[in-house]
Homo-oligomer: A and B are copies of this chain.
Amino acid sequence: MANRGCTVTPSYMQKIRSIPLFAASLAGLLLPLGAIAAPTDSAAIRDAALKDDVAWAFTEGLTTEVGPRPAGTPQEARARDWAVARLNALGFSNVRAEPYKMPVWVRGRDEAKILSPFPQNLVLAALGNSGSTSDKGIEGEVVYFPTIADLEVAPDASIRGKIVFVSHGMTATQDGSSYGYYGAARRQGPSIAAKKGAIAILIRSIGTDHHRVPHTGVQMWADGVTPIPAAALSVPDAEQLARVMGRGQPVKLHLTLTSKMLKDQPSGNVIAEIPGSDPAAGVVVAACHLDSWDQGTGAIDDATGCGIAAAAALQVAKGGTPRRTIRVLMAGAEEVGGDGARAYYKAHGTEKHALAMESDFGADRVWRVDFKLPQGHEALTKRIADALAPLGVGAGTQEAGGGADIAPLVKAGVPVIDLQQDGTRYFDLHHTPDDTLDKVDPIQLRQNVAAWAVTLNLVANTEDSMGIN
C-alpha cells in the first residue's frame, strides 16, 4: 500500500492467485452489525474487496486482448465488444453499448531531426488535432521559450515563419494539481503559436519522467486559428534541444508530422448495471473511460478505472440487492474531448442521479476522499470517512469535483464523491507508450476496489435522500 515511487511492479507480483472469498466473507458475517444502513458491513466488504481479482483480470484482459483503443477507431469498437462480453460474463444486468458519432484525428508519422548545428534525431509525438506536414516534412529555424508565459509576450515578428519550442519544468505532485498549470503549454500553446505565425510548435512533454517516451494529449484550436503541426518532445529530447539552443547558434529542424482528420466515425459508451430495489431512489453512476491514447495500451488511463468501477459494483452486489441501482459507465472518447460524457448526459440526463463517481487517475492507492453532497448529509459523510479510514484514506477539506466523464452530471448538480488516487508517478506514464500493464500495482489496485466498494455500498443503500424528492 505504500507509495511505490518509481519502482515498477515485479512480474511475480502480477501472478494473482485466485483466493477463495469464502473465508473472508464468513469473517465479515461474524462481525456485529452496527448503525450503518447497509445490508453488508463495511468491514466485510472491505476485507473481501482487498482480495478482489476482477479489477486485475479486467485490466489485464482489456490491455492484452484489445491493447490501444483510440476513440472513434476500429480498436475502440473492439474494446466496446470486449467490455460488453466481459460485463455480461461477470453477471451485470442491462449491459449495452450506446453509440454516437464523432470526428477523429489519426496519427501518421512522427519524426524530427536537428539539421544544424549538431545533426541528430529527436523523439516526439504529435498532439491530438495537430496539423499535418506533407510526407516530405518541413524545415525551419527554432525559437525557444522557457515557459508559455514567455511565448505569450513574445512579439509576432520573432515567431513568424519559425518553429516554436516551449519548455518548462513540471514536477510530480501527489494530487496531480501541477497538470493544470503546466498543461497549458499543450492546451493553449499551439493556438498561441499559430496566431503569432509559427509554422509548427514543439513542447516539452507534460510529464515527470526522464524516458524517451513522449506524452501526447489533446489540444483544441482556438476559433479562427489555422492548425499547424504540434508535437511533444520526450523530456530527455526537450532537455537536449534546450542544451543545443543554449550553444547560441541558429538551430534548424526538419519535422515530419503527418496525420489526418476523419468525420463522423462511430464511438460509444458501454453501460452495465446492478439493479436496485427502489427505482425512485435514483441511480449511482460509477464512471471510467474505455478509450485510450494510441501509443500505450491504456493500462493506467483508464483500463484500471474501469476495472475498479466494475469490481467495486460487484463487491457491493455480493451483499445483496442494493436500494439504488449502481450503473457502471465506461465512457467512450474521454481523451479527445468528452464526447462520451455528453452522449451519456443527452441520453440519461433527465433520469434521477443520486451520485456520480469517476476513476481516471491510475491505480495507485486512494489517499483522500472529497465530498459534494446535499446539505443534511453530514452523518453519511462521516460514515463513509470512517469506513475509508482503515484503508489509509483521510477525509479532505476540498469540495469534490468529479472528472470529465461525469462533468455534465456534476454541472447539473448531481452529488459527487472523489476518491483521490496517488498521482505521484501518474505523469511519468500518462499518454505515453509506457502506459502498459506492468505499471499497475495489483496490491494498490485492490485498495482502490475496496475504497470504491465501501463508498458505493453506503451511498447505494443509505436511506438519506441524496437530494432526490
- Cα A64 to Cα B120 in complex, Å, equals 9
Is there contact, CB below 8 Å, between B236 and A436? Answer: yes
Is there contact, CB below 8 Å, between A118 and B65? Answer: yes
Number of residues of chain A lying within 8 A (CB) of chain B: 40
Q: Is A7 an interface residue (CB 8 A)?
A: yes
Assuming the A-B contacts A212-B434, A213-B211, A436-B212, are A120 and B67 also in contact, with contact meaning beta carbons closer than 8 angstroms in the complex?
yes
Q: Is A444 an interface residue (CB 8 A)?
A: no
Q: Is A439 an interface residue (CB 8 A)?
A: yes
Is there contact, CB below 8 Å, between A236 and B434? Answer: yes
Q: Is A433 an interface residue (CB 8 A)?
A: yes
Q: Is A468 an interface residue (CB 8 A)?
A: no
A433's partner among B169, B212, B239 (CB-CB below 8 A) is: B212
Near B by CB (< 8 A), chain A positions 57-91 give 60, 63-68, 75
Closest to A234 in B: B433
Interface 9-residue window, one of A40-48, A240-248, A345-353, A379-387: A240-248
- Cα A67 to Cα B118 in complex, Å, equals 8
Give chain B nearest CB distance to A74 CB in angstroms. 9
Is there contact, CB below 8 Å, between B213 and A66? Answer: no
- Cα A437 to Cα B237 in complex, Å, equals 10
Q: Is A407 an interface residue (CB 8 A)?
A: no
Near B by CB (< 8 A), chain A positions 1-34 give 5-8, 11
Per-residue CB proximity of A185-201 to B under 8 Å, as 1/0?
Answer: 00000000000000000
Chain A interface residues toward B at CB < 8 A: 5-8, 11, 60, 63-68, 75, 117-121, 123, 169, 210-213, 235-236, 239-240, 243-244, 247, 296-297, 432-434, 436-439
Assuming the A-B contacts A213-B211, A439-B210, are A64 and B240 also in contact, with contact meaning beta carbons closer than 8 angstroms in the complex?
yes
Closest to A64 in B: B243
- Does more than half of chain A's interface fall in helix, strand or loop, or is it mixed? loop
Interfacial chain B residues near A433, Cβ < 8 Å: 123, 212
A437's partner among B7, B60, B66, B240 (CB-CB below 8 A) is: B240
Assuming the A-B contacts A11-B169, A11-B239, are A118 and B66 also in contact, with contact meaning beta carbons closer than 8 angstroms in the complex?
yes
A-B interface, 10 closest residue pairs, ranked by CB to CB distance from nearest? A67-B120, A212-B433, A8-B210, A236-B436, A210-B438, A64-B243, A6-B6, A65-B118, A211-B211, A236-B438
- Cα A43 to Cα B293 in complex, Å, equals 55
Closest to A236 in B: B436
Interfacial chain B residues near A211, Cβ < 8 Å: 211, 213, 434
- Cα A433 to Cα B233 in complex, Å, equals 13
Closest to A244 in B: B64
Interfacial chain B residues near A213, Cβ < 8 Å: 211-213
6 A-B interface contacts by CB (under 8 A): A64-B118, A64-B240, A64-B244, A212-B296, A239-B437, A240-B436
- Cα A6 to Cα B243 in complex, Å, equals 24
- Cα A65 to Cα B120 in complex, Å, equals 9
- Cα A201 to Cα B448 in complex, Å, equals 40
Closest to A10 in B: B171
Give chain B nearest CB distance to A204 CB in angstroms. 11
- Cα A240 to Cα B299 in complex, Å, equals 12
Interfacial chain B residues near A123, Cβ < 8 Å: 433
Interfacial chain B residues near A11, Cβ < 8 Å: 169, 239
Is there contact, CB below 8 Å, between B60 and A243? Answer: yes
Closest to A213 in B: B212
Give chain B nearest CB distance to A462 CB in angstroms. 41
Closest to A114 in B: B67
- Cα A296 to Cα B244 in complex, Å, equals 16
Interface centre among A7, A436, A439 (most CB of B within 10 A): A436
Give chain B nearest CB distance to A18 CB in angstroms. 16
Give chain B nearest CB distance to A58 CB in angstroms. 14
Is there contact, CB below 8 Å, between B297 and A65? Answer: no
Interfacial chain B residues near A210, Cβ < 8 Å: 8, 436, 438-439
